[in-house]
Amino acid sequence: MSPASARIDLAFALNGRQVEIAVAPDTTAYELIRDEFELTSLRSACDGIGMCGACTILVNGRAALSCLMLAADLAKARVETLEGLAAPTRLHPLQRAFVSLGATQCGFCTAGMLLSAKALLDATPHPTREEIQRAIAGNLCRCTGYAKIMQAIEAAAETAS
């Protein structure tokens, strides 16, 4: 078998559902999730150099940049995207807070912000403002100035109390 035709068999949980797929060894997690599974909440504004955070996913509960990960790194992992955040009939508290406080502006960075915030709140239910700043430091937003995003994360943390 030539290297060009080599495939890696992967099995992992994607938004709570077990999936299995064969991918080329150089496939990124971003390409796999967005192109093969058609979960389009993942965005890319930095051409895959890990500078924007718009492609953020949760891997075993931790925020990760899917453009910098190989798909093979997802083997046996629990992966969550924005599509898996809400319950079928209601928004996640973070989503509700982002909407009600106007933290979504153009929406391009929102999925990455929400997932970074979820990872933070899952690990630290009552974060300080500094902890929130650190958690979203890798997510660039060109519209909001971050004030409403931080307020929304604080509000979601209060709601979860």
Q: What is the pLDDT of residues 108-138, one digit of tens each?
A: 999 999 999 999 999 999 999 999 999 999 9
Tell me how far apart the alpha carbons of residues 115 and 82 are, in angstroms, rounded to a whole number.
7
Looking at 3.10.20.30, 1.10.490.10, 3.30.530.20, 3.40.50.1220, the CATH number of the domain 3-84 comes to 3.10.20.30
| Contact present, 109 and 141 (Cβ < 8 Å) | yes
Tell me how far apart the alpha carbons of residues 94 and 17 are, in angstroms, rounded to a whole number.
22
| Contact present, 93 and 160 (Cβ < 8 Å) | yes
Domain with CATH 1.10.150.120 in the chain: 93-159
Domain with CATH 3.10.20.30 in the chain: 3-84
The structural architecture, per CATH, of the domain 93-159 is Orthogonal Bundle (1.10)
pLDDT tens figures, 35-58: 999 999 999 989 889 999 999 999
Q: What is the pTM of this model?
A: 0.93
